[in-house]
Amino acid sequence: MPTTPTAPAPTAAPSVVVVGSANADLLARTEVHPAPGETVLGRDLSVLPGGKGANQAVAAALLGARVAFVGAVGDDEFADAATSGLRAAGVDLERLAVVPGGTGVAVVTVAADGENSIVVVPGANGTVDAAAVGRHADLLAAAGVVVLQGEIPRDGVEAAARLAGGRLVVNLAPVIAVDPAVLRRADPLVVNEHEAHGALGLLDPGGSVGADVGDEDVVSRLRALGVPSVVLTRGPLGALVAGREGAGEPADVPSGADVVVVPAPRVDAVDTTGAGDAFVGALAAELARGSGLVDAARVAVRVGAFAVRGSGAQPSYPRVGDELP
């Protein structure tokens, strides 16, 4: 069983660059999610730092990685909220742009069972395009690991993928119509069950995969279509891992296995907001530290399980020294 990560010495700190979104999360708690046309009463409202890119950067930094963030916020009242977690975690914000207009905002509703629904207004994240990303080509070329998601413009994602000099982690969330070359460069491509089908559609537009096809078959299909490695997250069921530095690497993985099942610890979920981002950030930190993909995923599922036990996204993430489930 992997141990809780420890902070590396400053001279040996891994290098992770996250290119992505930073939002202020307006989080409302309710007993149930409203049905279309229905109004429900909320218990409370919080304004918290969020955005998939910022969440992943914070998660990696809190686990001891040296992290830089490329993104943008507006010049409005939400900018401080969006960046507060990044600053507190020690993420390098030298490449964070401040642009005229609004900061990205996510309106999050969390029901009593911990499940959430989210509406995202991109705001300044929409300016993180190819030109904005290209201004940081030196940083991306030197990074050990570059992490991307789908909450910035397509051409920004594609530019970052081209400029990445090290290992590229692509979390296709939400699914956007990127050039399939980005997915074939991803090592790994990180997707949940629904996003995996979206990725298949991008890689093989003429193909069809029924909803009843098993997760392992979907992972194998992605690999057959040219993705170097795949991590498919399955919430409380953990993750599936396949590809380079994946199957067969650790001693307890059966020789010749194509897809490795990485189970998650059982916990009582309070709020699932940002748990997937905690997983991706932890995965990136472990890969930058030199872990193989299966071992990195084993830490990441424990970090994701830790995160669902707390409220909000970034405030629920573990830091070096915290005991993981």
Q: Which residues are annotated as catalytic?
A: 277
User: From the CB of residue 119, how many other CB atoms can be counted at a distance below 10 Å?
Assistant: 10
Q: How far apart are CA 74 and CA 100, in angstroms?
A: 6
Place of tokens 């969006």: 82
CA 27 to each of CA 3, 183, 240, 275: distance values in angstroms, whole numbers, following the listed order: 32, 32, 30, 15
Tokens, residue 5: 């990560």
Q: How far apart are CA 167 and CA 47, in angstroms?
A: 34
Whether residue 89 contacts residue 97, with contact meaning beta carbons closer than 8 Å, is answered with no
Length of the chain: 325
Sign, CA dihedral 263-268-273-275, equals negative
What is the maximum span of the chain, computed from C-alpha positions, in angstroms?
56
Q: How far apart are CA 319 and CA 61, in angstroms?
A: 8
